[in-house]
Amino acid sequence: MPSAAQGDWTIPANWDRIEEGMSEEQVVGILGPPTKREEQFLSYVQLFYEGEVEGNGFISGSITLERNQVAAWMTDRPVFNP
């Protein structure tokens, strides 16, 4: 069974604050530490946020950074129930 999600990433409005060009430190300052971090290729890092959210089930989202900056076209926002 997936673990219960914790942290600021579970607040939908926080995802609206993520902007192209932000650094990894800025993203973590808004969403909190990722549940998983993967380095891909030489200049890409992917931050994963996932877990069980009450009323929503299993939720996941990710942000890809290129050269330590958010690449907006590679952001996968979690979908929360209204």
- pLDDT at residue 15, as a whole number: 92
- Cβ contact 6:54 at 8 Å: no
pLDDT in tens, 3-62: 677 889 988 899 999 999 999 999 999 999 999 999 988 899 999 999 888 888 888 899
pLDDT band at 73 (very low <50, low <70, confident <90, very high): low
CATH assignment of 8-75? 3.30.1450.10
Which strands make up the sheet holding 44-53, listed edge to edge?
Answer: 36-40, 44-53, 57-66, 69-76
Single pTM value for the model:
0.83
